[in-house]
Amino acid sequence: MLSTDTDILTTAEAWRRGGRAVALATVIETWGSAPRPVGSHLVVDGDGNFLGSVSGGCVEGDVITEAADVIEAGTPRVLEFGVADETAWRAGLSCGGRIRVFVERID
């Protein structure tokens, strides 16, 4: 079961108040078929713990890796993932869609 936006944002706040470094990833745009809708969130802490989902598959792993860099640098990023149908399963976009994800450090 996926966590609700309230669960994810509450967790982000709790982790931050607990002294953890935190980044929030949000789906800001989709084209075609995408596993998660615009507004979906993934929260990541500095130790690599996470809650929520912005896609799945390799995309999710890439977003978690990028979130660690955003936590370190403090500079937000927009990530774009798009695949052709023949490589869709490998990247986690099983329907061949494209997504854009905004990743920001929560201070």
Backbone angles phi, psi at 105, to 5 degrees: -80, 140
pLDDT at residue number 96: 63
> Which tens digit of pLDDT belongs to each residue from 56-88?
777 889 999 999 999 999 999 999 988 654 444
Taking phi first (over 0 means left), then psi (-120 to 50 degrees means alpha), and beta for anything else, what does residue 37 get? beta
Average pLDDT on 84-99 reads 58
Residue with more model confidence, 64 or 5? 64
Q: Which of 29-38, 73-82, 90-99 has the highest mean pLDDT?
A: 73-82
Query: What SS3 class is residue 98?
Result: strand
Minimal CA–CA distance to 40: which of 20, 55, 26? 26
**pLDDT tens column, 6-26:** 899 999 999 999 999 999 999
Partner residues linked to 52 by β-bridges: 42
51 near 11, Cβ under 8 Å? yes
pLDDT at site 2: 59
Residue 27: per-residue pLDDT: 96
Strands 77-82, 22-31: pairing is unpaired
Distance of CA 106 to the CA centre of its chain: 14
